[in-house]
Chain A
């Protein structure tokens, strides 16, 4: 009971420390995460329900709030189902990128010397190859399996996370308290996990949000090109692609999924901006 109370208190304090735009971003992000989790159970129609099949590209009505798509399926339901892929895949890819990048940076800073040198060279080479082009190359070779997509996006955004984590880790590694720990005879593992890592978490969380936005944009872009999530699954990018024929009629089915992506990415961006500003205020910079 006491723990729940503390948690609520912390949550309220966190919320109060955000700017107005940050609060809006927080609510939008939270809303989409809930939709990704429970979207399939609140959707009014099934994903493949074609009961209105005569009614292609219909505009909004009571039964079909956002209208219907190119096969007469309910657009709202398809967006609610698609959230799972758009958000879930991007989250998985971002986790791979951020956790992988942070751990690699930690190891390479603590070990140092030749290992650090090699990792940095490889990362530099990966950083200057344009990410979308690299993703296209991998997909051309291995096909657009969901696991391939997540792994590709994760590996492609890992170098960026590594760079940021490494600059953090190098700074912390040179701090006096770390030197003291080393003189105390603490093991390398202890120094990495107990002394350096905890101080890296906060900046890496902000970076996590930014990288999540990149991942959402890239994965939906790939789906839009027909190279990402394949039918029968559909994320928001594939929804835009499959309804593209309705564009010349001005159908809502093209714009709505794209707006869903935009609201998610803008929301997360607003939240991160606000968090970064809060961090600056706190450290007095």
Chain B
């Protein structure tokens, strides 16, 4: 690690933090454009001009917008996420218990999908242009192009309704034993994996083929090396940076997938909380969830950037 690398990583971290700040500003100011405000909403039918004015003062809503934004941001940082409109309890008591469930689901999907995607991508790149490559290409393209809920409904139909391997729709986050874990997690994880594997395999193939088109790879072929050696020993080490980058990027597809999967399997995670909160228009919870998911997404992009920088031999 030399100074250039450290400085570039520092730059990425700073720009990530700046983006997160911009997103939080977006989340706050968009909500403040609403006609009516929290005081009116909280009072509901008891909203007379006097009571609204009193509650506004109590909640600090009569202060300037920019000042309120920084108060709100300060509270967020210190762990006070506000009070839910619908349930009238602190947001943290609703969301904090659900975060581990969602992370668990995402982690299981990641662990299961990375090896499969790597193998598929590398194999497709090795036999480029062959029938197998084209089959993998069309299959992964189809999985990327269809809605996640089609995959989910097909999986339920096949494994729960036709084969009776797992219970149909209700899933609880039961991790007490291996059997219970498999039973409750296998279907949601399978669906998430399909989405991520397809994306990841396509990007891995593209990264590797990019290297195989380089003159040095052609040289290796002309020297008479076996194709497997050309790909695995010559091209693959150079493609590690782009591949890891591709993986981090495809893991961000988990975000979209997890919303649908949690909804269809009624899984007690953060994404289903977000969907419920959106349909109840419970803004404090929505704001927290949006910020949390955006932060996760930014973190993934940051990791991808840093790995690309660290793996780039030109910078060593």
Please report A residues at the B interface, Cβ cutoff 8 Å: 21, 124-125, 128-134, 136-141, 143, 213, 217, 220-221, 224-227, 237, 240, 244, 247-250, 254-255, 258-259, 261-262, 265-266, 269, 273
Indicate if B22 sits at the interface (CB-CB under 8 A): yes
Interfacial chain A residues near B283, Cβ < 8 Å: 140-141
CA–CA, A129 and B286, complex, Å: 15
Do residues B286 and A221 form an inter-chain contact, with CB atoms below 8 A? no
**Contact A248 B23, beta carbon cutoff 8 Å:** no
* Complex-state Cα separation, A124 to B275, whole angstroms: 26
A136 touches B278 (CB 8 A): yes
Interface centre among B252, B279, B282, B297 (most CB of A within 10 A): B279
Q: Which of A213, A221, A227, A237 is close to B278, meaning CB atoms less than 8 Å apart?
A: A227
Give chain A nearest CB distance to B9 CB in angstroms: 17
Complex A-B: 22 CB contacts under 8 Å: A125-B22, A128-B19, A137-B27, A139-B278, A141-B30, A141-B34, A224-B149, A225-B260, A237-B149, A240-B150, A247-B157, A248-B160, A249-B161, A250-B161, A258-B146, A258-B147, A258-B149, A262-B147, A262-B150, A266-B145, A266-B146, A269-B141
Q: Given contacts A136-B274, A140-B281, A248-B160, list 13 more A-B pairs with CB under 8 A.
A: A137-B290, A139-B278, A143-B281, A226-B275, A237-B149, A244-B153, A247-B161, A247-B168, A248-B161, A254-B157, A255-B150, A255-B157, A262-B145
Name the contact of A254 in the complex, choosing from B19, B153, B277, B286 (C-beta under 8 A): B153
Cα separation A1 to B94 with both chains bound (whole Å): 69
Q: At the interface, is chain B mostly helix, strand, loop or mixed?
A: helix
B residues sitting closer than 8 Å to A (CB atoms) are: 19, 22-23, 26-27, 30-31, 33-34, 138, 141-142, 145-150, 153-154, 156-157, 160-162, 168-169, 252, 255-256, 259-260, 263-264, 274-275, 277-279, 281-283, 286-287, 289-290, 293-294, 297-298, 301
Chain B residues in 8 Å Cβ range of A21: 138
Contact yes or no, A221 B148, CB < 8 A: yes
A128 CA to B252 CA in the complex, in Å? 10
Contact residues in B for A254 (Cβ distance below 8 Å): 153, 157
Complex contact A247–B156 (CB within 8 A): yes
User: For residue B260, which residues in chain A have a CB less than 8 angstroms away from its CB?
Assistant: 221, 224-225
With A237-B147, A262-B146, A265-B145 known as contacts, the answer to whether A133 contacts B275 (CB < 8 A) is no
* Nearest-CB residue, chain B, relative to A268: B145
Residues of B close to A247: CB separation below 8 A: 153, 156-157, 161, 168-169
Chain B residues closer than 8 Å to A255, beta-carbon distance: 150, 153-154, 157
Given known pairs A128-B298, A221-B148, the reply for A248 and B279 (CB within 8 Å) is: no
